Amino acid sequence: MRSGPEPYPQPATLLDSVSPYGSRRLTVEFDGTTTAAYLHDQTSVIAATWIANHVRAPRTSDQGRINAGQAPLMPAVRTRHPRGRPPLDPDTLQALWFEEGDGVALLERGTLLAVIPGWSDMTRGIPGYSRDVIGQTPFGWSLDDAIEGLGPRVEGAGQFWHWRNSLAGWGRFQQAALAHLTSRLGPGAHYWDGAQGGRPAIGISERPPAPGRPFTVLSTVGMSAQRMPAVEQVLDDPAGYSRVELAVATTLPSGVAALVFLWLAGYPWREVTWFGPGHSVRWSDRSSNFPLGGGYEGVLLLEDPSGLPGPPVPDLSGFSVEGDPVRWLWIIPISERSRLIAKEHGSATLVGQLAAERRGWIVNPPAAALR
């Protein structure tokens, strides 16, 4: 895409970094004249920022370079180095991914050089932020002008990954989460790896039936250890919704029901999205392979499923991480038709319809054709 006709050379890649969750990739490219950073999803470039000119800056943008798909030369009045700066040394560059995995900071010798946050978007004309940009341009915005908000985010990202990569930090989180589940649901039984060795690391805790609770509760342990992507782009108060765990109440064999978490537990970071109360998720495979059986084709996530028939819903509230409350969302399997109802009319409408059909919130073995 960025390779143009002569005299523009093919850019050299100075840095290539994949996010810890595998959903985003950062490349830093140098073509002898400019350096630019690009944020990719699985198929294309989704955001970018100019980093530096390495020749004298023009008075205006070079439209020829832009038309040829090349990184632009920043005009002289918009760069702190109008005469150009020396090329960057690849050995001095480091990518620091945000906790959510949807944004990334670029460091040069440990100093902040550029940031492409999760809200940067080429299709909306929102570039990343660069240290050497003055003001706002189509190719990059001033990092200095945004440092009050972005500086703490970058510092927090460094602290997060230091904690997350430490065995002691993860162990303390597990102990706290499991102790919370024990206080709410009683002793645990099996514990499985819900991430299959990937990131984020997530466990699955089984809480067998207990007096007054004739069903098993399976819960994730670890989703709330990191904030979900995209929440801050849609909510004014992301802290109240950025951390979740998932749970399912079931009379199915635990080892079978737990398979649903292999699909859902890492979904927000894999797909760069978030789960909130009332959200629904479509099963991407054939319905016959749906982990909870019954011909279902997706799930509805409810913080309080008590609007559906069934016994009292266990209260799992009261757990927090870094001061953020953790919401437990209960998994309710649904058909694709039901999911479309929720999408078009809202989850409350679907819950009302399911309740009228006497559809409970406990996941039981399938008995007949289900809606």
Give the side-chain half-sphere CA count within 13 A for 342.
26
Q: What is the per-residue pLDDT across 121-130, written as a single tens digit (0 to 9) for each? A: 999 999 999 9
Answer whether residue 369 is part of any domain: no
Binned average pLDDT, 10 residues per bin, the chain of 371 residues:
58 97 97 96 96 94 78 94 97 98 97 97 96 96 97 97 92 97 97 90 97 96 97 91 98 95 96 97 78 90 97 97 97 95 94 95 72 41
Domain count, the chain: 2
Domain boundary (164, 179, 209) is at 164
Whether 40 and 133 map to the same domain: the answer is yes
Q: How distant, in Å, are the alpha carbons of 59, 74, 83, 146, 194 from that of 131? A: 20, 13, 16, 10, 40
Q: Counting runs of H as helices and runs of E as strands, what totals does the chain give?
A: 9, 19
Residue-number span of the structural domain to which 51 is assigned: 12-164
70, 84, 53: which is closest to 5 by C-alpha? Answer: 70
Instruction: Give the Cα separation of 366 and 363 in Å (integer).
Output: 9
Domain boundary (144, 164, 184) is at 164
Domain boundary (125, 146, 164) is at 164
Whether 54 and 105 map to the same domain: the answer is yes
pLDDT at position 287, please?
54
Answer whether residue 268 is part of any domain: yes
